[in-house]
Chain A
């Protein structure tokens, strides 16, 4: 028996053996109903965020109507009204923009950073490895939410590139993204480094080195493409973690700027509402958050299963 059929034995039938791993993953995903449903749910969130930020956000600041304050759900306002008489439905959808932006921006910064530093540390070793791992150990020594809170706390009054067109005020959402990104690259970096250590020993890297390729060239053509699957899986994990962390930060009042609709600040505003019978704002925020997190979690699980050629579904 030869090796080749074994390697591809669980590829869907009818696929050419030469199909790239990414193509195979894509085809497997397309055949998974759960993955399709989750992707559709995420698409709905994105569409809602884009639509509301164009249609509702421009007038949001002046949409208070105290005559309607705290009205329960009705046919007119299906999710009821908040303490300022604004539609909770519109608020919930607007808040999706904050969550999606934080999840995306955080990982767009964190994943490439983790990939590059992890691959460089694993492949080059020596002092690069020592410096990167010291940085990782130091940041990772402050565990969990305390680290994010500490970073965001330090950023409260910080303005980057003040006075120029690139001015970024870290007191609000940009600070949340940066604090989370400075936290999240660590996980990717560790996994990628461990993988790069293995790749460094492989024959194709040895061959590339023997043929005179430079270290940087090998890093980009041989090491990085072979750790991209880690980036994809960590993206979905990081997205969920970023969304959840933003909610906690905004709940504590150190997240997005005051007045920006966010599920965290909605939960904070509604924290003692249940006792007096106002359940709609809290329910809307928690439900919107939970459904998004569930969809990304399940899709991430499916992607991981599809990527792993040896995966045996438990």
Chain B
């Protein structure tokens, strides 16, 4: 058990290092020189040099080979700074000079205010509907639900957003413009729930159908166990592993928020920030937010792996490839 957790932990660390490497290559090497976005078009070479120096872009990429290997200056490169900035969240925005750590502290609550209720309500609703239609499988109710969810999945979130805002505008005009009033958060929350429910119901239905058609369920019903107990006490716990995995996958997006909803409704969360930083070509912020998303995601996966191993002995016994 301990060895299993250690092995998973080591793998997570290797992955996180890989992400640091990836973000470095993408944003420092492939993205190229973005100074033009922050300097006037007639900026003198001097001003340009000052911009490079201010953001340490004049340092060598990997190591400073002109210095002896023992001196700190040898290691003072863009890559080293990238690693340190990633871990300490000390990278600062080109546009505002704000550090990423502070930005996250300021903005994450807004993202959480949108995503936590959306995830909780959406998850409960999708699970309830999926249980219901799986129980009434092959009836008109099931077929209608499958049809509706399939159609719902084909409409992009963008359409839900714009049409949702319009409908709210017709009913309560003041509520349509995002967070002018904090209580208005229910509009984007409702849209997030609506947009995600189709796919989730389809997924959960497939998982539950796999379980609900088994012999033990029929036996339990035949011996007279009440429906609620069969569904909630027998079927649901046995479907929980894949459903929980899917839930954990959503965790990084809790803090990162919803990119589209936040930028559309003007919610000052991290998702909206990422969209703004992309249009400003604010490299340090995009780098750091990508990295933070990855760390959250890998941590979530690690947590599920360990929880599985603790609660489901079959997982531990299976040879891991």
Using a CB–CB cutoff of 8 Å, the interface residues on chain A facing chain B are: 134-135, 137-139, 141-147, 149-151, 153-158, 194, 197, 244, 247-248, 251-254, 264, 267, 270-271, 274-275, 282, 286, 289-291, 293-294, 297-298, 314
Return the chain A residue nearest B258 by Cβ.
Answer: A145
- With A142-B290, A143-B297, A253-B279 as known contacts, state yes or no: A274 contacts B15, CB within 8 Å: no
Q: Is B159 a contact of A286 with CB atoms below 8 Å? A: yes
Q: How far is the CB of A154 from chain B (nearest CB, A)?
A: 4
Q: Is B154 a contact of A293 with CB atoms below 8 Å? A: yes
Q: Is A137 a contact of B11 with CB atoms below 8 Å? A: yes
- With A248-B260, A271-B162, A297-B154 as known contacts, state yes or no: A137 contacts B30, CB within 8 Å: no
Q: Secondary structure of the A side of the interface?
A: helix
Q: Is A155 a contact of B30 with CB atoms below 8 Å? A: yes
- Give Cα A274 to B165, complex, Å: 9
User: B307 in the interface, Cβ–Cβ < 8 Å?
Assistant: no
User: B236 in the interface, Cβ–Cβ < 8 Å?
Assistant: no
**Which residues does chain A contribute within 8 Å of B260, judged by CB atoms?**
248, 251-252
- With A286-B156, A294-B154 as known contacts, state yes or no: A138 contacts B22, CB within 8 Å: yes
Q: Is B158 a contact of A248 with CB atoms below 8 Å? A: yes
Q: Which of B138-166 contact A (CB under 8 A)?
A: 138, 150-151, 153-159, 162-163, 165-166
Q: Which of A139, A143, A154, A244 contacts B30 (CB 8 A)?
A: A154
**Which residues does chain A contribute within 8 Å of B293, judged by CB atoms?**
142-143, 146
**Which residues does chain A contribute within 8 Å of B119, judged by CB atoms?**
none
- Give Cα A149 to B163, complex, Å: 24
- Give Cα A154 to B259, complex, Å: 18
Q: How far is the CB of A120 from chain B (nearest CB, A)?
A: 15
Q: Is B290 a contact of A144 with CB atoms below 8 Å? A: no
Q: Is A247 a contact of B158 with CB atoms below 8 Å? A: yes
Q: Is A145 a contact of B259 with CB atoms below 8 Å? A: yes
Q: Which of A158, A267, A282, A314 contacts B137 (CB 8 A)?
A: A314
Q: Is B153 a contact of A297 with CB atoms below 8 Å? A: yes
- Give Cα A150 to B26, complex, Å: 8
**Which residues does chain A contribute within 8 Å of B103, judged by CB atoms?**
none
**Which residues does chain A contribute within 8 Å of B31, judged by CB atoms?**
153-154, 156-158
- Give Cα A199 to B49, complex, Å: 58
Q: Is B156 a contact of A150 with CB atoms below 8 Å? A: no
Q: Is A154 a contact of B26 with CB atoms below 8 Å? A: yes
- With A141-B19, A141-B297, A267-B162 as known contacts, state yes or no: A156 contacts B281, CB within 8 Å: yes
Segment among B62-70, B89-97, B105-113, B248-256 that sits at the interface with chain A: B248-256
Q: A141-B297, A143-B249, A274-B163 are in contact. List 16 more A-B contacts (CB 8 A).
A: A135-B18, A138-B19, A141-B16, A142-B19, A142-B297, A143-B252, A153-B31, A158-B30, A248-B156, A248-B158, A254-B278, A267-B159, A275-B166, A282-B159, A290-B156, A294-B151
**Which residues does chain A contribute within 8 Å of B1, judged by CB atoms?**
none
A-B contact pairs, 14 of them (CB 8 A): A134-B14, A135-B18, A142-B290, A142-B294, A143-B294, A153-B31, A153-B286, A154-B26, A156-B31, A252-B263, A274-B165, A275-B169, A286-B156, A293-B153
